[in-house]
Amino acid sequence: MRILSKSSLAPRRNADTQPSRSESQHLICLICFVIAITLGLGTRATTADDLTSVDGKYIRLVTDLPPSDSLTSYVASFDEAVPLWLEYWSREKSSIDDWRMTGYLMTEKASFQKRNLVPNELPDFTNGYQRGEKLWVVNQPSDFYTLHLLLHEGAHGIAEKLFGGAGPPWYMEGTAEYLATHAHGETGLQIGIIPASREVSPYWGRLGLIADRRRESKMPTIETVMRYGDTAHREVEPYAWSWVAATLMEMYPEYRDRFRAAATKGRDSSPQFTRQFYQDLSVQWPVVSARWQLLCNDLEYGFDRDRNRVMLKTSPLLTNDAVTMRLATDQGWQSAPVSVQQGQRLIIEAAGRYQLQTDPKWKSEANGVTIDYYRGIPLGRVVACFVPQAILNSPYMPKLEIVSIGAKGEAIAPCDGWLLLKVNDRPSSLADNSGSLDLRLQLEPRK
């Protein structure tokens, strides 16, 4: 998965939030300030009438905060994001020659309302809103989340400029979330990323919310997300799931081009937009739904999209014979070459020796190593799961049951669908594994 780089949303105060800015965030701000000067972006801060204005190429930021490196870095990062957004949608720079946003970053929203800088006809937004070439963001407890909101509303603004709108709620908010989730790397701003840790993305909270719903078995189906109405995003949760939907579509080349091209129909926010998108992928939809369930089950900080991409056939082979497969240890879920039927019993045997990580080096066999555990199962142990071919009459997905297999184990299929296997490891830590296992699968006739 290629991350684009240079070479409103209520804060969730739970285990996924941080109490203050870290020293690393201040260092990032300083780096952004140096980058802005080096690139000649021309940001400058002025004060008038107790407000501070910071001017960049694509945004003029007006705020009741005093001049600071953080403000300069917000504007510099916004200016860096714009070419990345154009690249994402394959648009030329000339398409926005006359486009520039005015952003209002507010610690006291009421004072901006008194100055008539927040129109009375705007909805009573909590943290962010965009209309035309203006955006409004309430200042957040962390630089990361404040910049995320500025980029989110900016993505809405440029989509309106390029396409006349941004589509229905799931698509509009999903793309804006995707294009606003960012990191600062050696080459500058990166967008379309999955944050590496909670510490580098304080107060963002999306992955913490997803983890909560996973524990509660309350993860929505992708169809539920695509039916969000105009008022759904008054709460924070729909933003998280819309972001996951965009992340799924970006993970797979067979969806990515269609997903991005749908932006050209941005003026259409009706259900017809979603119906057409579904029809374009209808033959693949059982696979889309299965991949959605696997992504929601595994998504966490540092998730490696390339190594967790799941290859599934729309019509895998049905058989009662024994089959074999090679299982890579540096990849996530891998599909068995057969499909299973509800109630069918399987006996799985695994053989092989492989390396789980490089520092320190841990050698493992199919039973795994008990020196470390992931989700209650020894690291490196062979595990299996069953994903249904269809989820009917429910807004939520069934819980994905993980079966511990080891060197030899058995399982009974709870549904008609796919059998998937992997070695148990964190989805962020697959790159330093090496080696493979040979599996033998015996499928018994359904009783």
Residue 378: CATH number of its domain:
2.60.120.430
- Residues composing the chain: 447
Largest CA distance in the chain: 80
Burial of 309 (0-12, 13-18, 19+ CB in 10 A): middle
How many domains in the chain?
A: 2
Sheet holding 101-106, edge to edge: 44-48, 51-55, 59-63, 101-106, 134-138, 128-131
**Contact (Cβ atoms closer than 8 angstroms) between residue 381 and residue 404:** yes
Is residue 190 within 8 Å of 184, Cβ to Cβ?
yes
Residue 154: what residue type?
A: G
d(Cα 415, Cα 425) in Å, to the nearest integer? 25
Q: Is residue 279 part of a domain?
A: no
**pLDDT score for 301:** 98
- CA–CA dist 136, 153 (Å, integer): 8
Q: Residue 8 has what pLDDT?
A: 39
In a domain, 262, yes or no: no
**What does each of the 447 residues of the chain score in pLDDT, given as a tens digit?**
445 655 434 333 333 434 444 444 444 444 444 444 344 444 556 655 789 999 999 999 999 999 999 999 999 999 999 999 999 999 999 999 999 999 999 999 999 999 999 999 999 999 999 999 999 999 999 999 999 999 999 999 999 999 999 999 999 999 999 999 999 988 899 999 999 999 999 999 999 999 999 999 999 999 999 999 988 788 889 999 999 999 999 999 999 999 999 999 999 999 999 999 999 999 999 999 999 999 999 999 999 999 999 999 876 666 667 899 999 999 999 999 988 989 999 999 999 999 998 888 899 999 999 999 999 999 999 999 999 988 878 899 999 999 999 999 999 999 999 999 999 999 999 999 999 999 999 988 776
pLDDT digits (tens, 9 = 90+) for 172-222: 999 999 999 999 988 899 999 999 999 999 999 999 999 999 999 999 999
Whether 63 maps to a domain, the answer reads yes
pLDDT number for residue 339:
86
In a domain, 284, yes or no: no
> Residue 173 has what pLDDT?
97
Domain-located, residue 35: yes
Cα–Cα–Cα angle for 273, 303, 260, nearest 5°?
Answer: 25
Which residue range(s) make up the domain with 159?
4-165
Q: Which of 146, 165, 184 is the last residue of a domain?
A: 165
CB 99 within 8 A of CB 131: no
In the chain, the amino acid numbered 117 is: L
pLDDT for 45:
60
* Domain's final residue, options 130, 165, 200: 165
CATH of the domain at 159: 3.30.2010.30
Residue 155 lies in a domain: yes
Please give the C-alpha separations between residue 288 and each of 170, 303, 329, 337, 367, in angstroms, as whole numbers: 16, 19, 24, 18, 31
Distance separating alpha carbons of residues 435 and 110, to the nearest angstrom: 60
At which of 104, 133, 165 does a domain end?
Answer: 165
215-231 CB burial, b ≥16 within 10 A, e <16: eeeebbbbbbbbbbeee
Question: Is residue 241 assigned to a domain?
Answer: no
- Is residue 380 one of the residues assigned to a domain? yes
Can you tell me the distance from the alpha carbon of 163 to that of 148, in angstroms, rounded to the nearest whole number? 22
pTM, rounded to two decimals: 0.88
> What are φ and ψ of residue 49, in 5° steps?
55, 40
Instruction: Find residue 91's DSSP bridge partners.
Output: none
